[in-house]
Amino acid sequence: MKELVQYLARSLVNNPDAVEVKETQGETASVLELKVAKEDLGRIIGKQGRTAKSIRTILNAAASRANRRVVLEIVEEQ
């Protein structure tokens, strides 16, 4: 799942080297934290959150095949 989010995020942003994905495993669910460069945050979220919602949909479809649950959190750097 981590590689999928990395691939999608790197394809969308202008600075693919700044993409970081951190995965935390649970018993039935995983939490993925996505960090991108500050100027690319709008590209990942999209208008009214549409791009982020689409990434989550793709991620949930892939996770359901593995009988897992995945939560994607987009982390904004301070």
Q: What topology does CATH give the domain 2-75?
A: GMP Synthetase; Chain A, domain 3 (3.30.300)
For the chain, the straight-line distance linking the first and the last C-alpha, in angstroms and rounded, comes to 26
**Contact yes or no for 70/63 (Cβ under 8 A):** yes
pLDDT digits (tens, 9 = 90+) for 53-64: 999 999 999 999
Given this model, what pLDDT does residue 66 score? Answer: 85
14: exposed, middle or buried (Cβ count in 10 Å: 0-12, 13-18, 19+): exposed
- Note every long-range contact of 16-25, with CB atoms under 8 Å and residues 24 or more positions apart, other chains counting: none
Q: Tell me what the mean pLDDT of segment 3-17 comes to.
A: 95
pLDDT digits (tens, 9 = 90+) for 31-57: 999 999 999 999 999 999 999 999 999
Q: Is 78's pLDDT higher than 90? A: no
Q: Is 76's pLDDT higher than 90? A: no
Q: Is 77's pLDDT higher than 80? A: no
